């Protein structure tokens, strides 16, 4: 795939023009307040795994609506005191998978909390264990249009709320230093991490890789690739204009969460990425309000982005923000 989006010099200054809804902050304050009416009830149950360097805890906590959400907490085997933590969100279609799939951060000395994504995990690459008990009106197959004509019913309202509560669950464990928590993820997980960065004001750092769920109006008209294509196919089948749909999506756009975020951030983008077009990533990055931000650019890569090279960059970058005072 050749370069298809704006030239890099224009990407570095690109700013989406669609504003956040006037009640964006009120919507999310009410959503999170309703979730916190339910006891977090975080449970951490030891799991026997044939891994010498880590210990694993099976996590259950109350997310949106008090619904049980699963996760893993993976700790260095010899951890004794409060540790800096990375809360990770998973890419589109995947679930939390198995513990041995998540060894990077624990072997680097961090507590690693992996959130399962409700309703996902049957896409063939990482199993999930968290059902989504909330139904929706007719939707295109996938998750992008579930409840998309009403922001209160939209699928990602539940997911983003689960993600904020995942930070709270991680912080509740005695081996996690609540003051040193970062959020991270790739693709969908990157988009979720941006949302959380705008909703949790005291994060230590944010690591969004090739993030999804950003600049919906541009993404849905720029690429035919899934998952953004789900939006266009939904509108195509219903023969309706996009005003209602894009108004709902404006409550979940990473651009608007980024404009409210302050934690240090390391983004990544791939310039041949048809899944998460580079202008949509730069749209969120350029809107990001925190002054300490940087972005790694992979000029010849597609949605795999930097892969292990980006992980190496994260391992170099993150410790400076999670070192104990």
Q: Catalytic residue numbers?
A: 187, 273, 303
Q: Give me the helix-helix angle, 155-171 and 188-199, nearest 10°.
A: 70
CB atoms under 10 Å from CB of 187, counted, come to: 26
- Residue 128 neighbours by CB under 8 Å, 6+ apart: 70, 94, 95, 96, 116, 117, 118, 119, 120, 121, 122
Helix-strand-coil split of the chain, %, nearest 5? 35, 20, 45
Report the candidate in 249, 22, 36 with the shortest Cα–Cα distance to residue 161: 36
**Strands lying side by side in the sheet with 176-186:** 43-47, 54-62, 68-76, 111-115, 83-89, 176-186, 205-209, 265-270, 293-298
DSSP label at residue 253: -
Give the SS3 label for residue 162. helix
Rg (the chain; Cα; Å): 19
CA–CA dist 222, 46 (Å, integer): 46
What tokens appear for 171 in the block?
């912080």
Contact criterion met (CB below 8 Å) for 280 and 183:
no
Of 88, 15, 9, 3, nearest to 285 (Cα)? 15
């Amino acid at each position: 795939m050749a370069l298809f989006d704006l030239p890099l010099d224009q990407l570095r200054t690109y700013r989406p023009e669609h504003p956040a809804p006037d009640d964006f902050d009120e919507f999310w304050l009410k959503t999170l307040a309703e979730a916190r009416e339910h006891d977090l009830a975080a449970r951490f149950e030891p799991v026997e795994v044939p891994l010498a360097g880590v210990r694993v805890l099976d996590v259950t906590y109350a997310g949106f609506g008090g619904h049980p959400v699963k996760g893993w907490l993976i700790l260095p085997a010899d951890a004794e005191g409060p540790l800096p933590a990375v809360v990770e969100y998973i890419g589109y279609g995947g679930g939390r998978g198995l513990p041995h799939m998540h060894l990077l951060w624990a072997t680097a000395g961090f507590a690693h909390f992996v959130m399962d994504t409700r309703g996902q995990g049957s896409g063939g690459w990482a199993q999930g264990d968290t059902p989504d008990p909330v139904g929706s009106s007719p939707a295109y197959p996938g998750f992008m249009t579930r409840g998309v004509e009403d922001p209160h019913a939209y699928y990602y309202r539940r997911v983003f709320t689960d993600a904020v509560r995942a930070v709270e669950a991680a912080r509740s464990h005695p081996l996690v230093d609540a003051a040193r928590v970062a959020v991270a993820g790739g693709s969908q997980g990157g988009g979720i991490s941006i949302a959380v960065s705008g909703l949790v004001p005291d994060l230590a750092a944010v690591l969004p890789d090739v993030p999804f769920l950003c600049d919906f109006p541009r993404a849905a008209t720029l690429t035919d690739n899934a998952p953004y294509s789900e939006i266009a196919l939904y509108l195509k089948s219903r023969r309706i204009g996009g005003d209602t749909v894009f108004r709902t999506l404006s409550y979940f756009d990473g651009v608007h969460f980024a404009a409210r975020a302050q934690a240090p951030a390391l983004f990544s983008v791939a310039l041949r990425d048809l899944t998460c077009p580079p202008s949509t990533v730069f749209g969120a990055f350029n809107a990001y309000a925190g002054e300490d931000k940087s972005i790694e650019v992979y000029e010849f890569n597609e949605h795999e982005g930097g892969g292990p090279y980006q992980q190496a960059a994260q391992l170099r970058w993150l410790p400076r923000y999670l070192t104990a005072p």
